[in-house]
């Protein structure tokens, strides 16, 4: 399940500031720093976050950003081309312009901002598939958060009657959207991971639960002597194979279908698990890690790509993502100490945590 490209993170951090950038010190004793910036107003803005979320869903679904890809346009023209009511679409664009996604450059004439450009479907790091996923996959389970907090049960299973990955396998069009959302995230995150860590020292890298292979493609493109093995469930591997072939990497990359709760391919120098361990509770995460440990040589490395929870109440997207894991899979984000303990319980010793320029880190471990 996805993390956050920087455009998304910047937007999140913007909304975390009580007054859109003004500090508490600017407020009077009652917490007022201007008509819109009182503490109750700031709290209210947090409470209506889903209004923005739904407006983003609408423009993502209607491909409004693609209509603006070549430049500014009148709302009436966009509405005609995407099949929307012009007045209603105007109100949505005006709202999203007020939070920096579009800009109204003339009467009812809009263009994309640099942030809004990530809504386009064909740009690297596009967030379109993520916004579709947030509403079409996450919305119902999130409505059940209260019940899950009261019972500790996974909301997704309650909403859909099965686990996330079983659901994605059964509903392939939603599964495709989910894999596209993951790919978009990894497009930015993958570059950061490959920049932060030297994968060139390895002969063979297995990407365990590698999805459509965005990270592995990044690794193999950066290091021309490295060979890759993409390991995932059969229905996902089919999509990965196509993309690996299209990238001209088929000769150096095998695609292997399987179940990481049963076993993982042997014979690699490095086992990468990106956004895998956070999908699962400790018991199931330990099973995956032990299956990796079982096939690792003493010199092999295991690399988790995850967000590490910072201590205290420091703002961090990882805390939001932790709730998303609670709702979707019953997994969680973890602190550095929790990762160390989890790895140790699977016979692995954590050697270091390497930060990247995104919110994700590489957690390196070796056989204990």
Ligand X SMILES: C[S@@+](CC[C@H](N)C(=O)[O-])C[C@H]1O[C@@H](n2cnc3c(N)ncnc32)[C@H](O)[C@@H]1O
Binder among 104, 136, 233, 282 for ligand X (CB under 6 A) = 233
Which residues are identified as catalytic?
278
- Please, what is the minimum distance in Å from the beta carbon of residue 232 to ligand X? 5
Other CB atoms closer than 10 Å to residue 9's CB: what's the count?
Answer: 15
Binder among 186, 348, 350, 359 for ligand X (CB under 6 A) = 186
Decide: is 1 part of the binding site for ligand X (CB under 6 A): yes
Report yes or no: 56 and 131 within 8 Å, Cβ to Cβ.
yes
Build a one-symbol-per-residue string for 275-304: x at contacts with ligand X by CB under 6 A, - elsewhere: xx--x-------------------------
Decide: is 211 part of the binding site for ligand X (CB under 6 A): yes
Decide: is 325 part of the binding site for ligand X (CB under 6 A): no
What is the distance between the alpha carbons of residues 32 and 139, in angstroms, rounded to a whole number?
34
- Please, what is the minimum distance in Å from the beta carbon of residue 186 to ligand X? 4
State which H helix or E strand residue 184 sits in.
helix 172-196
Binder among 46, 166, 261, 357 for ligand X (CB under 6 A) = 261
**Cα 31 from chain centroid (whole Å):** 35
Token pair of 290, please?
């032990």
Q: What are phi and psi of 338, to 5 degrees?
A: -65, -40
Distances (CA, A) of 224 to 179, 207, 219, 221, 266: 26, 17, 9, 6, 21
Decide: is 307 part of the binding site for ligand X (CB under 6 A): no
* Residue number with CB closer to ligand X (116 or 190): 190
Binder among 7, 220, 274, 342 for ligand X (CB under 6 A) = 274
- Please, what is the minimum distance in Å from the beta carbon of residue 307 to ligand X? 12
Build a one-symbol-per-residue string for 152-171: x at contacts with ligand X by CB under 6 A, - elsewhere: -------------x------
- Please, what is the minimum distance in Å from the beta carbon of residue 185 to ligand X? 6
Decide: is 260 part of the binding site for ligand X (CB under 6 A): yes
For every residue of 65-102, DSSP letters joined together read HHHTTTS-EEHHHHHHHHT--HHHHHHHHHHHHHTTSE
Of 269, 235, 243, 241, the C-alpha closest to 254 is: 241
Of 302, 319, 301, the C-alpha closest to 310 is: 319
Decide: is 269 part of the binding site for ligand X (CB under 6 A): no
* Residues near ligand X (CB under 6 A): 1, 165, 182, 186, 209-211, 215, 232-233, 236, 259-261, 274-276, 279
């Amino acid at each position: 399940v996805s993390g956050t490209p920087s455009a998304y993170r910047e937007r999140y951090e913007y909304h975390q500031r009580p007054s859109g950038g003004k500090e508490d010190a600017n407020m009077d004793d009652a917490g007022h720093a201007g008509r819109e910036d009182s503490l109750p107003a700031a709290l209210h803005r947090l409470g209506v976050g889903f209004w923005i979320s739904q407006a983003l869903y609408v423009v993502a679904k209607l491909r409004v950003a693609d209509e603006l890809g070549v430049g500014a346009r009148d709302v009436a023209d966009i509405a005609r081309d995407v099949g929307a009511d012009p007045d209603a679409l105007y109100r949505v664009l005006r709202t999203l312009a007020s939070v920096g996604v579009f800009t109204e450059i003339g009467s009812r004439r809009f263009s994309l901002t640099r942030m809004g450009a990530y809504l386009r479907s064909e740009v690297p790091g596009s967030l379109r598939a993520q916004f579709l996923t947030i509403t079409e996959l996450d919305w119902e389970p999130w409505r059940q958060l209260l019940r899950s907090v009261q019972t500790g049960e996974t909301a997704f299973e309650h909403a859909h009657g099965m686990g996330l990955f079983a659901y994605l396998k059964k509903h392939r069009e939603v599964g495709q959207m989910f894999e596209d959302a993951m790919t978009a995230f990894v497009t930015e995150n993958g570059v950061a991971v490959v920049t932060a860590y030297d994968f060139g020292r390895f002969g063979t890298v297995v990407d365990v639960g590698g999805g459509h292979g965005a990270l592995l493609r990044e690794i193999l493109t950066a290091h021309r002597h490295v060979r890759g093995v993409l390991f995932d469930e059969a229905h996902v591997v089919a999509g990965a194979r196509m993309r690996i072939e299209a990238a001209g990497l088929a000769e150096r990359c095998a695609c292997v279908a399987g179940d990481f709760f049963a076993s993982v391919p042997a014979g690699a120098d490095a086992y990468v698990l990106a956004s895998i361990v956070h999908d699962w509770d400790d018991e199931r995460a330990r099973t995956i890690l032990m299956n990796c440990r079982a096939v690792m040589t003493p010199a092999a490395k295991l690399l988790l790509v995850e967000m590490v929870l910072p201590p205290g109440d420091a703002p961090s997207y990882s805390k939001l993502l932790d709730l998303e894991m609670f709702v979707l899979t019953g997994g969680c984000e973890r602190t550095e100490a929790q990762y160390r303990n989890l790895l140790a319980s699977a016979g692995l010793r954590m050697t270091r945590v390497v930060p990247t320029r995104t919110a994700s880190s590489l957690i390196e471990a070796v056989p204990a």
